[in-house]
């Protein structure tokens, strides 16, 4: 949001989450919400990341551990399925990878510059070591 002058904003530094009325936010997913420009949903912290999680659908069992423990609402799950990572809001903490129970993991951290296709092509195979 552009830096506005003193006469251009709501008094009291009040912010609205949405444009217009909302009646059932708790039942409306992000893609169906009319966020205001002041909602941090419209902002990005992608530049915080040094590493990013890459999701490999092939191994995912949709357990939703990554969804529940992601601090940044960046695991997109719909209809009980893990769909992917919200790269605008992911801060690259790596928690999702740590909690992913599959073998091999369905989420792995790669450097921010890594090409996703390449990462998927070179995905590690099942670990057989003592666990």
- Residue 18 contact, options ligand SF4, other proteins, none, Cβ 5-8 Å cut-off depending on partner type: other proteins
Instruction: Give me the half-sphere count of Cα atoms (radius 13 Å) on the Cβ side of residue 4.
Output: 9
In angstroms, rounded to a whole number, what is the distance separating the alpha carbons of residues 105 and 58? 10
3-class DSSP state of 55 = strand
29 binds other proteins (CB under 8 A): yes
**Residues 6+ positions from 111 with CB-CB distance below 8 Å:** 50, 51, 52
Q: Of 81-89, 100-108, 112-120, 123-131, which part binds other proteins (CB under 8 A)?
A: 81-89
68 binds, among ligand SF4, other proteins, none (CB under 5 to 8 A by kind): other proteins
Residues that bind ligand SF4 (CB under 6 A): 53, 60-66, 70, 72, 74-75, 82, 85, 90-96, 99-100, 102, 106-107
């Amino acid at each position: 949001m552009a830096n506005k002058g003193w006469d251009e904003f709501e008094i009291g530094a009040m912010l609205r989450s949405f444009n217009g009325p909302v009646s059932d936010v708790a039942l409306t997913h992000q893609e169906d919400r009319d966020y205001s420009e002041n909602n941090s949903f419209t902002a990005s912290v992608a530049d915080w990341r040094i590493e990013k999680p890459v999701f490999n659908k092939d191994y995912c069992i949709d357990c939703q551990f990554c969804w529940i423990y992601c601090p940044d609402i960046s695991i997109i799950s719909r209809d009980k399925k893990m769909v992917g990572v919200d790269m605008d809001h992911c801060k690259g903490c790596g928690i999702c990878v740590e909690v992913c129970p599959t073998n091999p993991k369905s989420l792995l951290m790669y450097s921010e510059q890594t090409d996703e296709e390449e990462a998927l092509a070179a995905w590690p195979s099942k670990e057989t070591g003592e666990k």
